């Protein structure tokens, strides 16, 4: 069983759900408390043992590449001002030289096409996909949990979590075949089913471990929903010849591609922040009390 060493992060999207903020800043660079959202996703990947990350970018995404580079002027200024804690913080988050790649998706043809753009860098080995819109807050990295499941059963792994049945029509959900604890053998996937037709309430979260045979399927995958090349369509074809398991991971996910999800993520990470957590929680409690009094 080959180790999961590489991950793909598709960051070419326009972020239309959080306009107008994303008119001037990539949605992945919008701050959650004190760091860009994408930093949390990179940290998750690193905690799972990922050695190389491929960012699939688009136009006006240069800020992401700059963020994961050295900022010499800032470092010199912090060093001269003897702000060593801040200097250590920004330098510790710079990737090791050669551990990141940036490839361009010139035309927005869908998630499946974005992933396919990373094929030459990933090569013929299993790899992870992390959608940077989604932050997963957990004691153990969500991807690390998935890698543990992969080391047990191999094949392809998808992260899932339970949602109320009345919300399944907003997500892709899995069709379970059998279950052993939190690990579920899959019979299929359904994209945004009606509640009455949903095979489960386990939504696909935006974390995947896939085998390299997906490349050939993505290469000739016809356009699907929205006229775009869909990753789920290629995965459904791969499922015909390979095993797929879903892992119901421990943790909470936040959709930072939506306004309310982004707001919720800021609250969740602020109240657990090691520097401002106590103050943030007190402010939130005070706000809630003031709202109750005015109601």
pLDDT band of residue 172 (cuts 50, 70, 90) is confident
* CATH class of the region 6-257: alpha beta
pLDDT band of residue 52 (cuts 50, 70, 90) is very high
Give the Cα separation of 13 and 55 in Å (integer). Answer: 12
pLDDT score recorded for residue 108: 81
Average pLDDT for 56-64: 89
Give the Cα separation of 239 and 196 in Å (integer). Answer: 24
Is 90 exceeded by the pLDDT of residue 214? yes
Report the percentage of the chain scoring pLDDT > 70.
Answer: 99
- List of residues 6+ apart from 217 with CB closer than 8 A: 234, 237, 238
Strand 202-210 relative to strand 127-130, pairing: antiparallel
In the chain, where are the structural domains located? 6-257, 258-295
What would the pLDDT profile of 86-108 be if each residue is shown by its tens digit?
999 888 888 888 899 999 998 88
pLDDT score recorded for residue 295: 64
Give pTM, 2 decimals: 0.91
Of 14, 99, 24, nearest to 58 (Cα)? 14
């Amino acid at each position: 069983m080959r180790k999961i060493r590489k991950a793909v992060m598709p960051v070419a999207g326009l972020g239309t759900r959080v306009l107008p903020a994303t008119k001037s800043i990539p949605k992945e660079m919008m701050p959650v408390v004190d760091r860009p959202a994408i930093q949390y996703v990179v940290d998750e990947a690193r905690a799972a043992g990922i050695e190389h990350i491929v960012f699939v970018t688009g136009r006006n995404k240069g800020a992401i590449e700059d963020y994961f580079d050295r900022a010499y002027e800032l470092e010199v200024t912090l060093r001269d001002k003897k702000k060593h804690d801040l200097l250590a913080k920004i330098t510790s988050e710079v990737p090791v030289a050669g551990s990141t790649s940036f490839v361009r998706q010139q035309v927005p043809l869908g998630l499946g096409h974005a992933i396919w753009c990373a094929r030459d860098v990933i090569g013929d080995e299993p790899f992870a996909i992390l959608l940077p819109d989604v932050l997963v807050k957990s004691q153990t990295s969500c991807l690390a949990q998935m890698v543990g499941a992969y080391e047990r059963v191999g094949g392809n792994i998808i992260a899932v979590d339970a949602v109320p049945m009345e919300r399944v029509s907003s997500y892709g959900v899995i069709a379970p075949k059998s279950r052993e604890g939190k690990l579920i053998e899959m019979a299929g996937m359904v994209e945004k089913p009606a509640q009455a037709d949903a095979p489960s309430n386990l939504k696909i979260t935006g974390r995947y471990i896939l085998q390299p045979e997906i490349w050939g399927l993505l290469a000739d995958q016809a356009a699907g929903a929205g006229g775009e090349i869909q990753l789920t369509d290629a995965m459904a074809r791969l499922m015909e010849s390979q095993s797929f398991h879903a892992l119901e991971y421990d943790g909470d996910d936040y959709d930072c591609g939506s306004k309310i999800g982004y707001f919720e993520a800021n609250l969740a990470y602020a109240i657990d922040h090691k520097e401002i957590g106590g103050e943030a929680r007190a402010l939130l409690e005070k706000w809630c009390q003031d709202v109750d009094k005015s109601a």
